[in-house]
Amino acid sequence: MKSEDGNIEGSVNQNRGFESRDSASSSKRSQPVAGRWFDAHLHVDLYPEEEREPLLSEAFAGGITGVVAVSMHLESSRTNQALASRFPGRVRPAYGFHPEQPLPGEAAIEELLRWIRVRFASGERFVIGEVGLPYYTRTESEAAGRPFDEMPYIVLLEKFIKLASDTQLPIVLHAVYEDADKSLDLLEKHRVRQAHFHWFKGSSATIDRMIKAGYYISITPDVEYEPEIQRLVRAYPIELMMTETDGPWPFEGPFSGERTKPLMVRQVVDKIAELKGLAKEDAELRLWRNAASFYGWV
């Protein structure tokens, strides 16, 4: 992968103390491709097994230069670890527990945290995620008149935030609206500097707080048709923005009926350029740099 702005496969990360340990094995493998696109949030393990590697191969052949493979739980983390090892220098795995599901017992949580710490001690390159708070589960439950106890989720989130603080690894958060504020409290408490709120939505007060903290957001393909996401793009600095698909989550509008794939971020980049009044190539370069820098590619 060659570019004048960021030589992914030969570079050493200067921001986060990462060494480019996964670069050597891939430096001679790939040819330069047009485009500089990044899918900063993909659930690759949620695609049928036979589709996963072709999905990634197609993305990289089409100009995607990096994918962050987020996990749902320990088994998912193991799957993503194996997939990442098949695409050195291209896939960064994220290990965690997705909040929109029932919590496992204490022993399972401790097993996951221990597994992540062992990976860290071994020098493996990864980040923490997907972690956060169960906004959709909670609000659906409350709307149906069923009480929802959020506290165990907050306790678990704090464990992951503490882990991110201890390891100085970036953390990927699922936390929208008022849950973003609860997460911000914990991030501040543990002095976490590198946080990425994926598919973020929130009030202008929360947006201001996030910008002041220097936290990143990522924009999904629904920016094509969701006024709320378009307003967010106008309000948030492009310096703190990335692109993602959250695949296999399906989208509507121009993507209706299409299987979600990483290359959809090309349209996200173009829409961000339009909303920000930037040339497409300029937006593409800035968004790519943000993700590559945050996730330790450059």
Smallest gap from Cβ 231 to Zn ion, in A, equals 22
Measured from the CB atom, the residue of 148 and 249 that comes closer to Zn ion is 249
Smallest gap from Cβ 41 to Zn ion, in A, equals 6
Structure-token match 């994918």, residue found: 67
- Please state, in angstroms and as integers, the Cα–Cα distance from residue 101 to each residue in 81, 197, 258, following that order: 21, 18, 26
Measured from the CB atom, the residue of 9 and 130 that comes closer to Zn ion is 130
Q: Which stretch binds Zn ion (CB under 5 A): 7-15, 112-120, 123-131, 220-228?
A: 123-131
Residues whose CB is less than 8 angstroms from the CB of residue 204 and which lie 6 or more positions away in sequence, other chains included: 235
**Distance (Å, whole) CA 70 – CA 90:** 14
Dump the DSSP string for 275-296. HHT--HHHHHHHHHHHHHHHTT
Instruction: Please provide residue 196's backbone torsions phi and psi, each rounded to the nearest 5 degrees.
Output: -125, 115
**Distance (Å, whole) CA 84 – CA 79:** 9
Measured from the CB atom, the residue of 112 and 283 that comes closer to Zn ion is 112
Smallest gap from Cβ 251 to Zn ion, in A, equals 14
- Retrieve residue 157's tokens: 């989130």
**Distance (Å, whole) CA 259 – CA 255:** 8
Smallest gap from Cβ 177 to Zn ion, in A, equals 16
Measured from the CB atom, the residue of 39 and 130 that comes closer to Zn ion is 130
- Retrieve residue 239's tokens: 């310096």
Instruction: Please provide residue 128's backbone torsions phi and psi, each rounded to the nearest 5 degrees.
Output: -95, 130
Q: Which stretch binds Zn ion (CB under 5 A): 130-138, 179-187, 226-234, 281-289?
A: 130-138
Measured from the CB atom, the residue of 68 and 298 that comes closer to Zn ion is 68
Q: Which stretch binds Zn ion (CB under 5 A): 104-112, 127-135, 155-163, 210-218?
A: 127-135
What does the radius of gyration of the chain's CA atoms come to, in whole angstroms?
18
Measured from the CB atom, the residue of 8 and 171 that comes closer to Zn ion is 171
Q: Which stretch binds Zn ion (CB under 5 A): 45-53, 80-88, 126-134, 250-258?
A: 126-134
Binding residues among 233-252 for Zn ion as defined by CB under 5 A: 246
| Contacting residues toward Zn ion, per CB under 5 A | 130, 246
